[in-house]
Structure 1
Amino acid sequence: MIKPNDMAEEVTLFKTWSSAFALRVVWALQLKGVQYKSVLEDISDKSELLLHYNPVYKKVPVLLHQGRPISESLIILEYVDETWNQYPLLPQDPYARAMVRFWAKFGDDKIMPSIWTAFISEGKEQEAALAEASEHLQKLEEQLEGRKFFGGDNIGYLDIALGWLANLLRVFEDISSLKVVDGERFPLLFAWLREFSDAPIIKDCWPPHDKLIPKFIALRQVYRAKSST
Protein backbone atom coordinates (compact mmCIF):
# COMPACT_ATOMS: atom_id res chain seq x y z
CA MET A 1 0.00 0.00 0.00
CA ILE A 2 1.34 3.44 -0.93
CA LYS A 3 1.73 5.80 2.00
CA PRO A 4 1.07 9.56 1.75
CA ASN A 5 4.75 10.34 2.27
CA ASP A 6 5.66 8.01 -0.60
CA MET A 7 3.09 9.70 -2.84
CA ALA A 8 4.71 13.06 -2.13
CA GLU A 9 7.97 11.83 -3.67
CA GLU A 10 6.39 10.32 -6.75
CA VAL A 11 6.12 11.88 -10.19
CA THR A 12 2.54 11.45 -11.35
CA LEU A 13 1.05 12.55 -14.65
CA PHE A 14 -2.70 13.03 -15.03
CA LYS A 15 -3.56 12.58 -18.69
CA THR A 16 -5.95 11.03 -21.18
CA TRP A 17 -4.95 8.39 -23.71
CA SER A 18 -5.42 10.79 -26.63
CA SER A 19 -4.39 14.21 -25.31
CA ALA A 20 -1.79 15.85 -27.56
CA PHE A 21 -0.95 18.23 -24.73
CA ALA A 22 -0.31 15.46 -22.22
CA LEU A 23 1.78 13.67 -24.83
CA ARG A 24 4.24 16.58 -24.69
CA VAL A 25 4.90 15.82 -21.04
CA VAL A 26 5.19 12.09 -21.71
CA TRP A 27 7.88 12.75 -24.34
CA ALA A 28 9.80 15.12 -22.06
CA LEU A 29 9.82 12.65 -19.17
CA GLN A 30 10.82 9.82 -21.49
CA LEU A 31 13.67 11.81 -23.04
CA LYS A 32 14.99 12.62 -19.58
CA GLY A 33 14.53 9.08 -18.30
CA VAL A 34 12.27 10.15 -15.45
CA GLN A 35 10.14 7.40 -13.93
CA TYR A 36 6.53 8.44 -13.43
CA LYS A 37 3.08 7.07 -12.71
CA SER A 38 0.23 7.71 -15.17
CA VAL A 39 -3.31 8.43 -14.05
CA LEU A 40 -5.74 8.14 -16.95
CA GLU A 41 -8.64 10.58 -16.77
CA ASP A 42 -12.07 10.45 -18.34
CA ILE A 43 -12.76 14.03 -19.42
CA SER A 44 -16.51 13.39 -19.42
CA ASP A 45 -16.27 12.31 -15.78
CA LYS A 46 -13.27 14.07 -14.24
CA SER A 47 -11.87 12.68 -11.03
CA GLU A 48 -11.95 14.58 -7.76
CA LEU A 49 -8.15 14.45 -7.74
CA LEU A 50 -7.88 16.19 -11.12
CA LEU A 51 -10.33 18.89 -10.04
CA HIS A 52 -8.40 19.28 -6.80
CA TYR A 53 -5.00 19.60 -8.47
CA ASN A 54 -6.19 21.79 -11.35
CA PRO A 55 -9.16 23.77 -9.97
CA VAL A 56 -8.60 26.66 -12.43
CA TYR A 57 -8.69 24.93 -15.85
CA LYS A 58 -9.94 21.52 -14.69
CA LYS A 59 -8.14 19.66 -17.48
CA VAL A 60 -5.12 17.53 -18.28
CA PRO A 61 -2.21 17.41 -18.21
CA VAL A 62 -1.30 17.90 -14.58
CA LEU A 63 2.11 16.88 -13.29
CA LEU A 64 2.31 16.09 -9.60
CA HIS A 65 5.85 16.21 -8.18
CA GLN A 66 6.67 16.01 -4.49
CA GLY A 67 3.00 16.55 -3.78
CA ARG A 68 2.86 19.82 -5.75
CA PRO A 69 0.77 20.13 -8.96
CA ILE A 70 1.81 21.93 -12.14
CA SER A 71 -0.66 22.42 -14.98
CA GLU A 72 -0.54 23.65 -18.61
CA SER A 73 1.70 21.57 -20.86
CA LEU A 74 4.22 24.23 -21.92
CA ILE A 75 4.72 25.31 -18.31
CA ILE A 76 5.13 21.67 -17.29
CA LEU A 77 7.80 21.23 -19.99
CA GLU A 78 9.81 24.10 -18.53
CA TYR A 79 9.42 22.71 -15.03
CA VAL A 80 10.59 19.28 -16.15
CA ASP A 81 13.59 20.79 -17.92
CA GLU A 82 14.61 22.85 -14.90
CA THR A 83 14.06 20.02 -12.42
CA TRP A 84 15.93 17.23 -14.24
CA ASN A 85 19.17 18.37 -15.87
CA GLN A 86 19.80 15.36 -18.07
CA TYR A 87 18.99 15.87 -21.75
CA PRO A 88 18.35 19.67 -21.79
CA LEU A 89 15.26 20.64 -23.77
CA LEU A 90 15.64 24.42 -23.80
CA PRO A 91 18.73 26.19 -25.17
CA GLN A 92 21.10 27.85 -22.70
CA ASP A 93 21.24 31.22 -24.47
CA PRO A 94 18.54 33.57 -23.06
CA TYR A 95 17.57 34.96 -26.48
CA ALA A 96 17.34 31.48 -28.00
CA ARG A 97 15.19 30.38 -25.05
CA ALA A 98 12.87 33.35 -25.58
CA MET A 99 12.53 32.54 -29.27
CA VAL A 100 11.74 28.89 -28.58
CA ARG A 101 8.98 29.97 -26.17
CA PHE A 102 7.67 32.42 -28.76
CA TRP A 103 7.34 29.78 -31.50
CA ALA A 104 5.79 27.27 -29.12
CA LYS A 105 3.08 29.79 -28.24
CA PHE A 106 2.71 30.63 -31.93
CA GLY A 107 2.00 26.97 -32.57
CA ASP A 108 -0.75 26.87 -29.95
CA ASP A 109 -2.26 30.29 -30.65
CA LYS A 110 -2.07 30.44 -34.45
CA ILE A 111 -1.28 27.13 -36.14
CA MET A 112 -3.46 24.81 -34.09
CA PRO A 113 -6.69 26.88 -34.39
CA SER A 114 -6.30 27.38 -38.15
CA ILE A 115 -5.70 23.68 -38.84
CA TRP A 116 -8.56 22.68 -36.54
CA THR A 117 -10.91 25.10 -38.32
CA ALA A 118 -9.88 23.66 -41.68
CA PHE A 119 -10.59 20.15 -40.37
CA ILE A 120 -14.10 20.85 -39.07
CA SER A 121 -15.29 23.28 -41.76
CA GLU A 122 -16.26 23.13 -45.43
CA GLY A 123 -16.26 25.32 -48.53
CA LYS A 124 -15.00 28.89 -48.31
CA GLU A 125 -14.46 28.73 -44.56
CA GLN A 126 -12.21 25.71 -45.01
CA GLU A 127 -10.31 27.38 -47.85
CA ALA A 128 -9.70 30.47 -45.72
CA ALA A 129 -8.52 28.38 -42.78
CA LEU A 130 -6.16 26.38 -45.01
CA ALA A 131 -4.70 29.59 -46.45
CA GLU A 132 -4.15 30.92 -42.94
CA ALA A 133 -2.59 27.64 -41.80
CA SER A 134 -0.23 27.64 -44.80
CA GLU A 135 0.88 31.17 -44.00
CA HIS A 136 1.67 30.17 -40.43
CA LEU A 137 3.43 26.96 -41.46
CA GLN A 138 5.65 28.90 -43.84
CA LYS A 139 7.02 30.75 -40.83
CA LEU A 140 7.86 27.43 -39.19
CA GLU A 141 9.48 26.23 -42.41
CA GLU A 142 11.90 29.16 -42.16
CA GLN A 143 12.84 28.20 -38.60
CA LEU A 144 14.08 24.80 -39.81
CA GLU A 145 16.60 26.21 -42.29
CA GLY A 146 19.84 24.25 -41.82
CA ARG A 147 18.39 22.10 -39.03
CA LYS A 148 17.25 18.52 -38.65
CA PHE A 149 15.03 19.40 -35.68
CA PHE A 150 13.89 22.73 -34.30
CA GLY A 151 16.28 21.94 -31.46
CA GLY A 152 19.19 21.42 -33.87
CA ASP A 153 20.60 17.90 -34.13
CA ASN A 154 18.45 16.65 -31.26
CA ILE A 155 14.80 16.85 -30.30
CA GLY A 156 14.17 19.84 -28.03
CA TYR A 157 11.43 21.87 -26.38
CA LEU A 158 10.02 23.30 -29.60
CA ASP A 159 9.95 19.91 -31.32
CA ILE A 160 7.94 18.56 -28.42
CA ALA A 161 5.65 21.59 -28.37
CA LEU A 162 4.93 21.16 -32.10
CA GLY A 163 4.89 17.36 -32.01
CA TRP A 164 1.08 17.30 -32.23
CA LEU A 165 1.52 18.18 -35.93
CA ALA A 166 3.20 14.84 -36.59
CA ASN A 167 0.37 13.03 -34.86
CA LEU A 168 -2.85 14.85 -35.69
CA LEU A 169 -2.08 15.85 -39.29
CA ARG A 170 -2.08 12.16 -40.24
CA VAL A 171 -5.40 11.70 -38.48
CA PHE A 172 -6.98 14.76 -40.10
CA GLU A 173 -5.69 13.78 -43.54
CA ASP A 174 -7.05 10.24 -43.22
CA ILE A 175 -10.47 11.52 -42.22
CA SER A 176 -10.90 14.56 -44.45
CA SER A 177 -8.31 14.09 -47.24
CA LEU A 178 -6.83 17.48 -46.30
CA LYS A 179 -3.17 17.80 -47.24
CA VAL A 180 -1.77 20.51 -45.03
CA VAL A 181 1.97 19.82 -45.29
CA ASP A 182 3.33 18.50 -48.58
CA GLY A 183 6.94 17.86 -49.53
CA GLU A 184 6.91 20.31 -52.43
CA ARG A 185 5.68 23.40 -50.60
CA PHE A 186 7.17 22.65 -47.17
CA PRO A 187 10.17 20.37 -47.76
CA LEU A 188 11.82 21.13 -44.40
CA LEU A 189 8.64 20.67 -42.38
CA PHE A 190 7.83 17.54 -44.34
CA ALA A 191 11.26 16.09 -43.52
CA TRP A 192 10.93 17.15 -39.88
CA LEU A 193 7.57 15.40 -39.55
CA ARG A 194 9.16 12.17 -40.75
CA GLU A 195 12.31 12.48 -38.60
CA PHE A 196 10.35 13.37 -35.49
CA SER A 197 7.73 10.66 -35.98
CA ASP A 198 10.35 7.97 -36.55
CA ALA A 199 12.49 8.79 -33.50
CA PRO A 200 12.08 5.65 -31.32
CA ILE A 201 11.29 7.48 -28.08
CA ILE A 202 8.62 9.51 -29.88
CA LYS A 203 7.18 6.68 -31.96
CA ASP A 204 6.81 4.38 -28.95
CA CYS A 205 4.46 6.86 -27.24
CA TRP A 206 1.99 7.56 -30.07
CA PRO A 207 -1.68 6.97 -29.21
CA PRO A 208 -3.20 4.17 -31.33
CA HIS A 209 -3.99 5.66 -34.75
CA ASP A 210 -6.96 3.35 -35.26
CA LYS A 211 -8.53 4.67 -32.06
CA LEU A 212 -7.88 8.31 -32.91
CA ILE A 213 -9.73 8.07 -36.24
CA PRO A 214 -13.23 7.36 -34.79
CA LYS A 215 -12.62 9.82 -31.95
CA PHE A 216 -11.94 12.70 -34.32
CA ILE A 217 -14.66 11.68 -36.74
CA ALA A 218 -17.10 12.02 -33.86
CA LEU A 219 -15.61 15.36 -32.76
CA ARG A 220 -15.81 16.67 -36.32
CA GLN A 221 -19.48 15.72 -36.53
CA VAL A 222 -20.22 17.45 -33.22
CA TYR A 223 -18.55 20.71 -34.27
CA ARG A 224 -20.18 20.67 -37.69
CA ALA A 225 -23.59 20.09 -36.12
CA LYS A 226 -23.04 23.07 -33.82
CA SER A 227 -22.03 25.35 -36.69
CA SER A 228 -25.15 24.43 -38.68
CA THR A 229 -27.59 25.33 -35.90
Structure 2
Amino acid sequence: MGTEEVKLYGITLSPFVLRVEWALKLKHIEYEYVTEDLKNKSPQLLQYNPVEKKVPVLVHKGKPICESTLILEYVHEVWKNGCPLLPSDPHQKAVARFWSKFAEEKCLYSSFAVMSNVGEELKKAVEEFRHNLKTLEGYLEGKKFFGGDMIGMVDIVAGWIPCWVGMIEGLVSMTIVDEEYLPRIKAWIHDILELDLVKQTMPPLDKVEAHMRAIRETVLAAKSVSTLN
Protein backbone atom coordinates (compact mmCIF):
# COMPACT_ATOMS: atom_id res chain seq x y z
CA MET A 1 0.00 0.00 0.00
CA GLY A 2 1.45 3.36 -1.00
CA THR A 3 1.97 6.04 1.61
CA GLU A 4 -0.06 8.46 -0.54
CA GLU A 5 -3.18 6.59 0.55
CA VAL A 6 -2.72 7.07 4.30
CA LYS A 7 -1.63 10.20 6.15
CA LEU A 8 -1.48 10.78 9.89
CA TYR A 9 -1.56 14.36 11.11
CA GLY A 10 -0.05 14.60 14.57
CA ILE A 11 2.47 16.00 17.02
CA THR A 12 5.37 14.12 18.57
CA LEU A 13 4.40 14.54 22.22
CA SER A 14 0.75 13.48 21.99
CA PRO A 15 -0.23 10.11 23.53
CA PHE A 16 -3.38 10.21 21.40
CA VAL A 17 -1.34 10.37 18.20
CA LEU A 18 0.99 7.68 19.53
CA ARG A 19 -1.86 5.20 19.94
CA VAL A 20 -2.78 5.65 16.27
CA GLU A 21 0.84 5.06 15.27
CA TRP A 22 0.83 1.81 17.23
CA ALA A 23 -2.34 0.64 15.51
CA LEU A 24 -1.01 1.41 12.03
CA LYS A 25 2.26 -0.36 12.72
CA LEU A 26 0.48 -3.41 14.18
CA LYS A 27 -1.45 -3.59 10.91
CA HIS A 28 1.72 -3.10 8.81
CA ILE A 29 0.20 -0.05 7.14
CA GLU A 30 2.51 2.34 5.35
CA TYR A 31 1.63 5.95 6.08
CA GLU A 32 2.94 9.46 5.78
CA TYR A 33 3.35 11.31 9.08
CA VAL A 34 2.49 15.00 8.81
CA THR A 35 3.83 16.97 11.77
CA GLU A 36 1.52 19.77 12.87
CA ASP A 37 2.29 22.99 14.71
CA LEU A 38 -0.73 23.51 16.96
CA LYS A 39 0.14 27.19 17.35
CA ASN A 40 0.05 27.56 13.59
CA LYS A 41 -2.28 24.86 12.30
CA SER A 42 -2.08 23.90 8.66
CA PRO A 43 -4.96 24.57 6.27
CA GLN A 44 -5.16 20.79 5.75
CA LEU A 45 -5.73 20.10 9.45
CA LEU A 46 -8.40 22.81 9.65
CA GLN A 47 -10.03 21.34 6.55
CA TYR A 48 -9.98 17.77 7.82
CA ASN A 49 -11.01 18.53 11.41
CA PRO A 50 -12.94 21.83 11.25
CA VAL A 51 -14.92 21.14 14.43
CA GLU A 52 -12.20 20.48 17.02
CA LYS A 53 -9.11 21.47 15.00
CA LYS A 54 -7.06 18.85 16.86
CA VAL A 55 -4.76 15.92 16.14
CA PRO A 56 -4.71 13.07 15.47
CA VAL A 57 -6.41 13.01 12.10
CA LEU A 58 -6.07 9.99 9.84
CA VAL A 59 -6.67 10.59 6.15
CA HIS A 60 -7.34 7.51 4.06
CA LYS A 61 -7.85 7.97 0.32
CA GLY A 62 -8.61 11.64 0.92
CA LYS A 63 -11.23 10.97 3.61
CA PRO A 64 -10.48 12.15 7.18
CA ILE A 65 -11.22 10.31 10.42
CA CYS A 66 -10.89 12.24 13.69
CA GLU A 67 -10.67 11.25 17.38
CA SER A 68 -8.07 8.64 18.27
CA THR A 69 -10.43 5.93 19.54
CA LEU A 70 -12.62 6.25 16.45
CA ILE A 71 -9.50 6.04 14.29
CA LEU A 72 -8.54 2.79 16.06
CA GLU A 73 -11.98 1.35 15.30
CA TYR A 74 -11.63 2.42 11.67
CA VAL A 75 -8.18 0.86 11.34
CA HIS A 76 -9.50 -2.39 12.82
CA GLU A 77 -12.44 -2.51 10.44
CA VAL A 78 -10.66 -1.50 7.23
CA TRP A 79 -7.40 -3.44 7.43
CA LYS A 80 -7.66 -7.16 8.19
CA ASN A 81 -3.93 -7.87 7.90
CA GLY A 82 -1.61 -7.78 10.87
CA CYS A 83 -2.63 -7.94 14.51
CA PRO A 84 -6.39 -7.60 15.18
CA LEU A 85 -7.17 -4.72 17.53
CA LEU A 86 -10.46 -6.19 18.75
CA PRO A 87 -11.61 -9.78 19.34
CA SER A 88 -13.79 -11.44 16.70
CA ASP A 89 -16.28 -12.75 19.26
CA PRO A 90 -19.09 -10.17 19.64
CA HIS A 91 -19.25 -10.41 23.44
CA GLN A 92 -15.48 -10.18 23.88
CA LYS A 93 -15.44 -7.27 21.46
CA ALA A 94 -18.09 -5.44 23.50
CA VAL A 95 -16.14 -6.11 26.71
CA ALA A 96 -12.93 -4.76 25.16
CA ARG A 97 -14.79 -1.62 24.05
CA PHE A 98 -16.15 -1.19 27.58
CA TRP A 99 -12.68 -1.33 29.13
CA SER A 100 -11.25 0.94 26.46
CA LYS A 101 -13.89 3.49 27.39
CA PHE A 102 -13.14 2.99 31.09
CA ALA A 103 -9.42 3.55 30.51
CA GLU A 104 -10.22 6.71 28.57
CA GLU A 105 -12.95 8.23 30.72
CA LYS A 106 -11.91 7.12 34.21
CA CYS A 107 -8.16 6.48 34.28
CA LEU A 108 -7.09 9.22 31.89
CA TYR A 109 -9.36 11.88 33.37
CA SER A 110 -8.30 11.01 36.92
CA SER A 111 -4.67 11.43 35.83
CA PHE A 112 -5.58 14.97 34.73
CA ALA A 113 -6.85 15.62 38.26
CA VAL A 114 -3.50 14.43 39.64
CA MET A 115 -1.66 16.84 37.36
CA SER A 116 -3.96 19.70 38.36
CA ASN A 117 -3.76 19.64 42.16
CA VAL A 118 -1.49 20.00 45.18
CA GLY A 119 -1.81 19.27 48.89
CA GLU A 120 -4.84 17.39 50.14
CA GLU A 121 -6.59 17.64 46.79
CA LEU A 122 -3.59 15.99 45.16
CA LYS A 123 -3.72 13.13 47.66
CA LYS A 124 -7.43 12.61 46.90
CA ALA A 125 -6.75 12.70 43.17
CA VAL A 126 -3.94 10.14 43.47
CA GLU A 127 -6.19 7.79 45.46
CA GLU A 128 -8.94 8.14 42.86
CA PHE A 129 -6.46 7.43 40.08
CA ARG A 130 -5.11 4.38 41.90
CA HIS A 131 -8.65 3.13 42.53
CA ASN A 132 -9.48 3.40 38.83
CA LEU A 133 -6.28 1.59 37.89
CA LYS A 134 -7.16 -1.16 40.37
CA THR A 135 -10.54 -1.56 38.70
CA LEU A 136 -8.90 -1.70 35.27
CA GLU A 137 -6.43 -4.27 36.61
CA GLY A 138 -9.26 -6.75 37.07
CA TYR A 139 -9.49 -7.10 33.29
CA LEU A 140 -5.84 -8.21 33.24
CA GLU A 141 -6.34 -11.25 35.45
CA GLY A 142 -4.78 -14.33 33.88
CA LYS A 143 -3.40 -12.39 30.91
CA LYS A 144 -0.10 -10.78 29.94
CA PHE A 145 -1.80 -8.00 28.00
CA PHE A 146 -5.39 -6.80 28.00
CA GLY A 147 -5.60 -8.31 24.52
CA GLY A 148 -4.26 -11.67 25.76
CA ASP A 149 -0.89 -12.84 24.45
CA MET A 150 -0.77 -9.83 22.11
CA ILE A 151 -1.71 -6.22 22.68
CA GLY A 152 -5.12 -5.06 21.50
CA MET A 153 -7.46 -2.09 21.68
CA VAL A 154 -7.42 -1.71 25.47
CA ASP A 155 -3.62 -1.88 25.61
CA ILE A 156 -3.38 0.79 22.94
CA VAL A 157 -5.96 3.12 24.51
CA ALA A 158 -4.35 2.67 27.94
CA GLY A 159 -0.85 2.75 26.47
CA TRP A 160 -0.20 6.25 27.80
CA ILE A 161 0.01 4.72 31.30
CA PRO A 162 3.33 2.85 30.78
CA CYS A 163 4.76 5.78 28.84
CA TRP A 164 3.63 8.66 31.05
CA VAL A 165 2.72 7.52 34.58
CA GLY A 166 6.32 7.46 35.79
CA MET A 167 6.72 11.08 34.77
CA ILE A 168 3.48 11.99 36.55
CA GLU A 169 4.81 10.33 39.70
CA GLY A 170 7.98 12.39 39.43
CA LEU A 171 6.13 15.66 38.90
CA VAL A 172 3.87 15.21 41.94
CA SER A 173 6.46 13.33 44.08
CA MET A 174 4.00 10.53 44.86
CA THR A 175 3.89 6.82 44.00
CA ILE A 176 0.90 5.82 41.91
CA VAL A 177 1.72 2.34 40.59
CA ASP A 178 3.37 0.01 43.09
CA GLU A 179 3.86 -3.73 43.08
CA GLU A 180 1.92 -4.30 46.29
CA TYR A 181 -1.37 -2.60 45.32
CA LEU A 182 -1.19 -2.87 41.52
CA PRO A 183 0.97 -5.93 40.77
CA ARG A 184 -0.63 -6.81 37.43
CA ILE A 185 -0.58 -3.21 36.20
CA LYS A 186 3.06 -2.98 37.28
CA ALA A 187 3.95 -6.13 35.31
CA TRP A 188 1.89 -4.95 32.32
CA ILE A 189 3.74 -1.63 32.28
CA HIS A 190 7.06 -3.51 32.16
CA ASP A 191 5.86 -5.80 29.35
CA ILE A 192 4.49 -2.92 27.28
CA LEU A 193 7.74 -0.97 27.56
CA GLU A 194 9.68 -4.05 26.41
CA LEU A 195 7.81 -4.21 23.09
CA ASP A 196 9.87 -3.22 20.05
CA LEU A 197 6.82 -1.34 18.77
CA VAL A 198 6.87 0.89 21.84
CA LYS A 199 10.64 1.35 21.90
CA GLN A 200 10.66 2.38 18.23
CA THR A 201 7.89 4.98 18.58
CA MET A 202 8.55 6.44 22.03
CA PRO A 203 8.93 10.23 21.81
CA PRO A 204 11.90 11.95 23.48
CA LEU A 205 11.09 11.51 27.16
CA ASP A 206 12.92 14.66 28.26
CA LYS A 207 10.71 16.72 25.96
CA VAL A 208 7.59 14.90 27.14
CA GLU A 209 8.47 15.56 30.77
CA ALA A 210 9.19 19.24 30.08
CA HIS A 211 5.87 19.51 28.23
CA MET A 212 3.97 17.88 31.10
CA ARG A 213 5.72 20.05 33.68
CA ALA A 214 4.76 23.16 31.74
CA ILE A 215 1.13 22.02 31.57
CA ARG A 216 1.04 21.37 35.32
CA GLU A 217 2.60 24.75 36.13
CA THR A 218 0.14 26.52 33.82
CA VAL A 219 -2.88 24.80 35.35
CA LEU A 220 -1.74 25.42 38.92
CA ALA A 221 -1.00 29.08 38.14
CA ALA A 222 -4.46 29.51 36.63
CA LYS A 223 -6.08 27.90 39.68
CA SER A 224 -4.09 30.17 41.98
CA VAL A 225 -5.27 33.26 40.12
CA SER A 226 -8.85 31.99 40.17
CA THR A 227 -8.66 31.47 43.94
CA LEU A 228 -7.34 35.01 44.49
CA ASN A 229 -10.19 36.42 42.42
Q: Is the 8 A contact 1:27 1:160 kept in 2?
A: yes
For residue 32 of structure 1, report the CA deviation from its aligned partner: 1.1
Distance 2:223 2:71 in 1: 34
- 1:38 equivalenced with 2:57 (yes/no): no
Matches within 5 A, 1:5-154: 9-86=4-81, 87-154=83-150
For residue 99 of structure 1, report the CA deviation from its aligned partner: 1.3
For residue 39 of structure 1, report the CA deviation from its aligned partner: 0.5
Amino acid at match of 2:54: K
TM-score w.r.t. structure 2 length? 0.94
Bigger shift: residues 112-121 or 21-30? 112-121
Distance 1:175 1:130 in 2: 12
Amino acid at match of 1:129: A
Distance 2:172 2:203 in 1: 19
Distance 1:106 1:61 in 2: 20
Distance 2:167 2:34 in 1: 25
Number of residue pairs aligned between Structure 1 and Structure 2? 223
Match 1:174 to one of 170, 194, 199: 170
Distance 1:207 1:191 in 2: 22
Unaligned runs of 5+ in 1: 1-5
Distance 1:174 1:134 in 2: 16
Give CA deviations for 1:21-52 in whole Å, capped at 9, x if unaligned.
Answer: 01010001111111000011111221111010
Give CA deviations for 1:59-111 in whole Å, capped at 9, x if unaligned.
Answer: 00000001100000011001111111121110011111111111111111111
Provide the aligned C-alpha RMSD in A: 1.3
Unaligned runs of 5+ in 2: none
TM-score w.r.t. structure 1 length? 0.94
Q: Is the 8 A contact 1:119 1:178 kept in 2?
A: no
- Percent identical pairs in the alignment equals 44
Q: Is the 8 A contact 2:9 2:34 kept in 1?
A: yes
2:189 maps to 193
| SS of corresponding position for 1:44 | coil
